[in-house]
Structure 1
Amino acid sequence: MYEHLLLAYDYPVLGAFWTVMWVFLWVMWLFLLFRVVTDVFRDHSLGGWAKAGWLVFLILIPFLGALVYVIARGREMGRRENERAQQQLEAVHSYFRQTAAEAGGTSEAEQLTRLSELKARGDISETEFARAKEKILH
């Protein structure tokens, strides 16, 4: 009758530790595998057949395939990830600058006044003035 209450005592602490450790390692393995697969698709220097070959290698022998990929292309993988992060950061900064400029409250008249001052000082040419004026007015 009370045997079901003793189940927690039948599972030792070291067993719980190893279970948590294996679950953690399994999750880390999945992260690595998905990261390698996304890097294969993201790499523009690889051709279609090379990408297909890496994917077949990763599907047929996943542990060895991921290990070989990280050893062979790990440094480039990190470089590509850094470049992608820099591009995303630059896109966010560009969006913030654009949004701040639009919300800055400068009217078309103020922008045209500044533009004509630049033209009068000789900082921009007539063609640059005309292009900028068209951009402001449209």
Structure 2
Amino acid sequence: MDSYLNLAYDYPVLGAFWTIMWIFLWVMWIFLLFRVIVDIFRDDSMNGWAKTGWLVFTIVLPFLGVFVYVIARGKGMGRREQEHTRARLEETDRYIRETVGATGPVSEADQLAKLSEVRARGDISDEEFRRAKEKVLH
């Protein structure tokens, strides 16, 4: 029984902290690498050769390539991300408007006509019709 038993308390708290910090930084760098690659493809101001050059640079020398790209084109990255988000939001809003089929608020006359149809079918009583009509008119 001369063998040494390695227990969890033999790993110091500071060592655990440094391990967690390095894992966190590594994951953040991976996210930054993918953001740079997406931005390279998203940028319409660069031609194909420039995109190829930046992509090769970030793949062959990843740390240096990512940091040089962020320094050289970092402002544009934020602007392009905002434009992309704004375009997707406008596209979503347009799709919702097309799906709903309404371009503006429904007029009181349209609401009263629909209420009359519902009452004529017998789906609501006269009292419910009166309350809904008051709500529409006020």
**Runs of 4+ displaced beyond 4 Å:** 1-4
Could you tell me how far apart the structure 2 residues matched to 1:79 and 1:72 are? 14
AA paired with 1:32? L
- Structure 2 matches for 1:39-50, cutoff 5 A? 39-50=39-50
AA paired with 2:46? L
Shifted more, 74-83 versus 93-102: the winner is 93-102
- Structure 2 matches for 1:1-138, cutoff 5 A? 4=5, 7-101=7-101
Larger radius of gyration: 2
AA paired with 1:38? V
Could you tell me how far apart the structure 2 residues matched to 1:93 and 1:68 are? 37
Structure 1 regions of 5+ residues with no counterpart?
A: 103-109, 111-138
Secondary structure, aligned partner of 2:44:
coil
Could you tell me how far apart the structure 2 residues matched to 1:45 and 1:84 are? 14
Could you tell me how far apart the structure 2 residues matched to 1:72 and 1:26 are? 22
AA paired with 1:98? E
Q: CA deviation at 1:87?
A: 0.5
TM-score by length of 1: 0.68
Secondary structure, aligned partner of 2:7:
helix
Shifted more, 29-38 versus 50-59: the winner is 50-59
Structure 2 regions of 5+ residues with no counterpart?
A: 103-109, 111-138
Could you tell me how far apart the structure 2 residues matched to 1:36 and 1:53 are? 13
Percent identity for Structure 1 against Structure 2:
64
TM-score by length of 2: 0.68
AA paired with 1:100? V
AA paired with 1:64? L
Q: CA deviation at 1:3?
A: 5.7
Secondary structure, aligned partner of 1:20:
helix
AA paired with 2:97? R
